[in-house]
Amino acid sequence: MKINRLFEITIILLNKGTVTAKELADRFGVSTRTIYRDIDVLSSTGIPVYMNKGNRGGISLLENYVMNRTFISDKERESLLLAVKTLQATKYPELDIVLEKFGAMFKNTLNNDWVEIDFSHWGSIPNEKNKFNDIKRAMLERKVIHFEYVNSNGHRSSRLAEPEKLIFKGNSWYLVAYCRQRQGHRTFRISRLKNLEVRSEEFVPKILSGQQTEEMKEFSKPPVQLKLRFQAKVLNRLYDDFDDSFITENDDGSFDVDIAFPEDEWVYGYIMSFGSSVEVLKPEHIRKIIANEMKQALKMYE
């Protein structure tokens, strides 16, 4: 649409300073005559745009021109930036363009270097070959996707699904989709979703039922109240994972943590990740499970 082209031309001029009519014409797929008409329209609306002829000529804005931003306070601009930066950390597509427009609209008043957010794990592949791009495209175009998946029980499967919603919960991204194999809505953890392919087949969205979704069952398993004793050398990890109110320092320098977690394989693995720096005090059945897991692990090294 013409109004979008006019806005983008203004953004380009704010960021680049000077561009030629041919550059703009090539970018928007229109004639240079159309660009000249657009410049006339911008000028008539009060935007200080002008043209210079010659080898170094082109289309420019007055040097100190900044788009009207008085309706947004400094605090609101910083909040908007934090929101965009947070979403950018998920490798969500097209946010670089949004940040570019932020910079143009707020010019030198906006310092976007004060925050950097990265949710990715060490050793992960950036964006996993544009997984978010593909999921977004499939959602917008209502296209069926195919992928391989490993659920929380370690079971591998191949799925055809109709993607409907993205959820961020517990430091992880999940995809809500209608799974054709299970004939119902399921929630898939995106980090376990591999070899995603967007099919050409279109689908009609189904009404999301109130049934529990496959991956979210992990969050609704019966909790178990744990009492764990940690050595002081892992205090940094305790502060990473728990609020101060859950941590109690003992006279011998150790630390106790009382916390409730859904009981599953993840909890056992989490406790064992501390190695000899943690002891399960309660409950007794978890203490026995961890002891047995450690014995089984030790057999591999004997």
Based on the fold, state whether residues 50 and 112 are members of the same structural domain: no
Is there a contact between 135 and 143 (Cβ–Cβ < 8 Å)? no
Out of 17, 37, 61, a domain closes at 61
Report the percent of the chain where pLDDT is more than 70.
69
Tell me what the mean pLDDT of segment 284-302 comes to. Answer: 90
Distance CA 137, CA 143 (A): 8
Closest to 5 in 3D by CA, of 51, 37, 46: 37
CA distances from 232 to 7, 86, 211, 239, 278 (A): 58, 33, 44, 11, 10
Instruction: Express the helix, strand and coil content of the chain in percent, nearest 5 each.
Output: 40, 25, 30
Each residue's pLDDT tens digit, 135-147? 888 888 899 999 9
Pair (140, 190) in one structural domain: yes
As a whole number of angstroms, the distance between CA 216 and CA 189 comes to 9
Residues 163, 139 share a domain: yes
Q: How far apart are the first and last CA of the chain?
A: 71
- Give me the domain span that covers residue 103: 68-119
Q: Which of 194, 217, 240 is the last residue of a domain?
A: 217
Considering the domain architecture, whether residues 72 and 56 belong to the same structural domain is answered as: no
Would the pTM count as exceeding 0.85?
no
CATH number of the domain within which 161 lies: 2.30.30
Number of domains in the chain: 4
Say if residue 136 is in the same domain as residue 206.
yes
Query: How does pLDDT run across 108-121, given as a tens digit for each residue?
Result: 444 545 445 455 54
The CATH number linked to 12 is 1.10.10.10
The tally of CA atoms less than 13 A away on the side-chain side of residue 147 is 25
Domain boundary (217, 246, 276) is at 217
pLDDT of residue 208: 64
The pLDDT tens digits of the residues spanning 250-275 come to 999 999 999 888 777 778 888 998 99
Examine the domain organization and report whether 85 and 157 are in the same domain: no
Residues 201, 139 share a domain? yes
> For residue 194, what is the enclosing H or E element?
strand 193-202
> In DSSP terms, which residues pair with 261 in a beta bridge?
224
Q: Is the pLDDT of residue 205 over 80?
A: yes
73 vs 233: CA distance, rounded Å: 45
Q: Is pLDDT at 125 greater than 60 in this prediction?
A: no
Is residue 27 within 8 Å of residue 69, measured between CB atoms?
Answer: no
Q: Out of 154-158, 187-191, 215-219, 247-251, which region has the weakest mean confidence (pLDDT)? A: 215-219
Is 131 found in the same domain as 213?
Answer: yes
The phi-psi region of residue 47 (left if phi > 0; otherwise alpha if psi is between -120 and 50; otherwise beta) is beta
